[in-house]
C-alpha cells in the first residue's frame, strides 16, 4: 500500500498558536479547578472550555490538554509539595515535578501579565525551591488513591513505587498494523516521515514518536489510517490479543467487544480465518465497530442486543459450542492511568465493587458458551488482584470444577515471558516491567 503517487492529506502541524504559554497555564488552572469542583471527566471539562473559548486554535487546545493531564498525573504529589490542592498549586507543582522546570523559569511564566497567572508568592517560591516528597506517604509520592494502595502493594510488592512512578509517566503512541492490508515493514515505510519504529514486544505494532509535551501527529486523519492500514492501540492490548491464542477455523466470541479493537486484531491475526462474533451488553459501546470493520476489511459478525422489554440473549444459539471466548472485561482501568490520569481520582470503592460484579456476570456467561475442551481467555486492563486472579478464582469455584485454569501460552510473543509478572492464575503486564498499559491475561478451559 504505497501512497507516494497520490495527494497526501496527512496533517502533521496543528493550528498556529494564538495563546501565550502563560495564557495556556491560566486555562489549565481554570480547567483543573473545574474538574476538582465537579469531579467530572477531564475530557468533558476540556471540551466545555474549548466551546467557551473558540478563538483558541487546535494547537492551543492540545497544549492545554497536555498541561491538564500532566497536572492530574501529579495531582497528589504536586499538592503535597505546594501545600494546597487548588488548580494553581497543582499546576505549579507539576511544572517542577513532571516537567522539570526550575523556580526562575516558572516565575517567568507566572508574571501577572495579560492572560497570565498571578505572580508567585514568596511561599510558592520557597516551596518550589525547598519542597520535597521525602516524607510523603506512598499514595502521595506515587499519586494513587489511598484506598487502592493495599491492592497495589499486593500486586507489585517491592516494586510498588517504581510501578506507580511508571504509571505517572505519559504513555507512548502505539499503532497496530492491519495484516489484512500490509506487513509491518510496509507500514513502517509508509509512515517513515513520522519516525515510526517497531514496538519492543508486539510483532504487530509500530511506535510513533511524540513531542516533549506528549502530543503526537494527527493519526486519525492519516491516509493509511483512513484506508484501514492501522489502528491506534496500546502495545499491551496488542499483546493481549496475541495471548488469546485464536486459531483459524475456530468459532470465537468476543463477549465484551466494545468498539471492536480486539475483534479487529483477531481478524487480522487469523487472516479472517476464524469465525468471529462480537457483542457487548451495552449496545452503545458497539457503535464504532461497524465503520472500523468497513475500513479494515475484517470479517466479524456483530450481534447487537436489544434494549427494553424485547431484550433477548443474542448468543443463546451458541451455548456449549464456542471454541474460544474472549472476555475483555469491564474494569476499573487502573492499568491505563498513564493515558487516563483523571480516572484514578474518580475511582471509588463502590465503582470497584460494581466492576467485580460485572466481571462475575460476564465470566459466568462465557462458561455457558464454551464447549468442552474450549478456552476462556479473561483479560482486563487492571492491576488490582480483586479484578484479576480473584475474578478467575470466583468462576472456578462457581463452576464446581467444570472450568479449570490453565497456563497462558506466551510463545506467540518472544521475550515476553521474561518481562511479565506471573500471578497465581495468569500473567500481568505493567508500565514498569513491559512498558505497556497494565493488561492481565488468564486462560481457562471447560473440562466437561
DSSP 157: G
Burial class of residue 373, CB neighbours in 10 A (0-12, 13-18, 19+): exposed
DSSP alpha helix (H) spans, 110-260: 122-130, 138-141, 149-156, 160-167, 184-190, 223-226, 235-243
Half-sphere exposure of 430 (CA within 13 A, CB side): 25
Hey, CA dihedral for 269, 270, 271, 274, is it positive or negative? negative
DSSP letter for each residue of 324-339 = EEEEE-----GGGTTT
CATH number of 142-448: 3.40.50.150
Residue ranges in the chain modelled with pLDDT below 70: 1-17, 308-310
Query: Which residues of the chain does CATH 3.40.50.150 include?
Result: 142-448
Cβ proximity of 1 and 190 under 8 Å: yes
Question: From CA 145, how far away is CA 370, in angstroms rounded?
Answer: 37
Question: From CA 358, how far away is CA 144, in angstroms rounded?
Answer: 24
DSSP 14: P
> Binding site membership for S-adenosyl-L-methionine: which residues?
280, 328
Cβ proximity of 64 and 44 under 8 Å: no
The cell for 239 is: 499483546
> Binding site membership: which residues?
280, 328
Cβ proximity of 429 and 155 under 8 Å: no
Q: 256, 352, 363, 381: which is the annotated catalytic residue?
A: 381
Strand pairing category for 251-254 and 275-279: parallel
The cell for 335 is: 492499568
Instruction: List, for residues 242-298, the tens digit of each pLDDT value.
Output: 999 999 999 999 999 999 999 999 999 999 999 999 999 999 999 999 999 999 999
The cell for 48 is: 466545555
Cβ proximity of 404 and 444 under 8 Å: yes
Half-sphere exposure of 82 (CA within 13 A, CB side): 26
Per the annotation, the verdict on 381 as an active-site residue is yes
Closest C-alpha among 372, 252, 367, 243 to residue 303: 252
Interacting residues of 205 by C-beta distance below 8 A, sequence separation 6+: 174, 175, 176, 177, 184, 198, 199, 233, 235, 238
Residue 228 neighbours by CB distance under 10 Å: 20
Instruction: List, for residues 295-315, the tens digit of each pLDDT value.
Output: 999 999 999 998 766 678 999
pTM for this prediction: 0.93
DSSP alpha helix (H) spans, 39-115: 42-52, 58-73, 75-82, 87-97, 103-109
Cβ proximity of 207 and 152 under 8 Å: no
Looking at residue 261, its pLDDT comes to 96
Q: Kindly state the helix (H) or strand (E) to which residue 91 belongs, with its residue range.
A: helix 87-97
Q: Provide the b/e sequence for 300-330 (b: ≥16 CB within 10 Å).
A: bebbebeeeeeeeeebeebeeebbbbbbbbb
Residue 85 neighbours by CB distance under 10 Å: 14
Question: From CA 378, how far away is CA 374, in angstroms rounded?
Answer: 13
N residues, the chain: 448
DSSP letter for each residue of 248-293 = TT-EEEETT-TT-HHHHHHHHHTTT-SEEEEE-SSGGGGTTHHHHH
Looking at residue 309, its pLDDT comes to 63
Looking at residue 429, its pLDDT comes to 98
The cell for 436 is: 505497556
Residue listed under C-alpha cell 440473549? 313
Cβ proximity of 184 and 204 under 8 Å: yes
Cβ proximity of 246 and 273 under 8 Å: no
Cβ proximity of 61 and 46 under 8 Å: yes
Looking at residue 6, its pLDDT comes to 34
Helices 87-97 and 75-82, interaxial angle, to 10°?
Answer: 100
Cβ proximity of 34 and 46 under 8 Å: no
The cell for 229 is: 492500514
Amino acid at each position: 500500500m504505497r501512497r507516494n503517487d497520490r495527494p497526501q492529506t496527512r496533517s502533521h502541524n496543528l493550528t498556529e498558536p494564538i495563546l501565550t504559554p502563560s495564557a495556556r497555564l491560566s486555562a489549565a488552572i481554570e480547567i483543573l479547578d473545574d474538574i476538582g469542583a465537579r469531579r467530572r471527566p477531564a475530557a468533558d471539562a476540556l471540551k466545555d472550555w474549548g466551546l467557551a473559548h473558540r478563538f483558541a486554535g487546535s494547537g492551543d487546545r492540545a497544549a492545554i490538554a497536555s498541561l491538564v493531564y500532566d497536572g492530574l498525573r501529579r495531582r497528589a504529589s504536586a499538592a503535597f509539595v505546594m501545600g494546597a490542592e487548588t488548580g494553581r498549586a497543582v499546576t505549579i507543582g507539576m511544572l517542577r515535578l513532571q516537567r522539570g522546570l526550575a523556580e526562575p523559569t516558572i516565575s517567568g511564566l507566572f508574571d501577572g501579565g495579560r492572560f497570565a497567572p498571578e505572580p508567585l508568592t514568596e511561599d510558592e517560591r520557597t516551596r518550589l525551591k525547598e519542597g520535597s516528597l521525602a516524607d510523603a506517604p506512598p499514595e502521595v509520592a506515587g499519586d494513587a488513591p489511598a484506598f487502592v494502595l493495599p491492592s497495589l502493594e499486593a500486586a507489585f510488592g517491592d516494586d510498588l513505587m517504581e510501578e506507580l512512578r511508571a504509571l505517572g509517566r505519559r504513555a507512548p503512541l502505539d499503532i497496530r498494523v492491519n495484516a489484512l492490508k500490509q506487513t509491518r515493514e510496509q507500514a513502517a515505510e509508509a509512515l517513515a516521515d513520522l519516525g515510526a519504529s517497531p514496538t519492543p514486544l508486539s510483532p504487530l505494532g509500530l511506535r510513533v514518536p511524540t513531542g516533549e509535551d506528549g502530543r503526537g501527529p494527527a493519526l486519525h486523519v492519516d491516509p493509511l489510517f483512513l484506508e484501514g492500514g492501522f489502528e491506534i492501540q496500546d502495545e499491551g492490548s496488542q499483546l493481549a490479543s496475541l495471548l488469546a491464542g485464536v486459531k483459524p477455523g475456530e468459532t470465537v466470541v468476543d463477549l465484551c467487544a466494545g468498539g471492536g479493537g480486539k475483534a479487529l486484531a483477531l481478524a487480522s491475526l487469523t487472516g479472517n480465518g476464524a469465525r468471529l462474533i462480537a457483542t457487548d451488553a451495552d449496545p452503545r459501546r458497539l457503535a464504532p465497530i461497524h465503520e472500523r470493520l468497513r475500513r479494515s476489511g475484517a470479517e466479524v459478525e456483530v450481534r447487537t442486543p436489544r434494549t427494553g422489554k424485547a431484550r433477548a440473549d443474542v448468543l443463546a444459539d451458541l451455548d456449549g459450542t464456542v471454541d474460544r471466548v474472549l472476555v475483555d472485561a469491564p474494569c476499573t482501568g487502573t492499568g491505563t492511568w498513564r493515558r487516563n490520569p483523571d480516572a484514578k481520582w474518580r475511582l471509588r470503592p463502590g465503582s470497584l465493587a460494581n466492576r467485580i460484579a460485572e466481571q462475575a456476570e460476564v465470566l459466568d456467561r462465557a462458561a455457558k458458551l464454551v464447549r468442552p475442551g474450549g478456552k476462556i481467555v479473561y483479560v482486563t486492563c487492571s492491576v488490582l488482584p480483586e479484578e484479576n486472579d480473584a475474578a478467575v478464582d470466583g468462576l472456578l469455584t462457581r463452576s464446581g470444577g467444570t472450568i479449570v485454569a490453565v497456563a497462558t501460552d506466551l510463545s506467540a510473543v518472544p521475550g515476553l515471558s521474561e518481562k511479565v509478572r506471573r500471578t497465581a492464575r495468569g500473567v500481568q503486564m505493567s508500565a514498569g516491567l513491559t512498558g505497556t498499559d497494565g493488561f492481565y491475561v488468564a486462560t481457562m478451559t471447560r473440562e466437561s
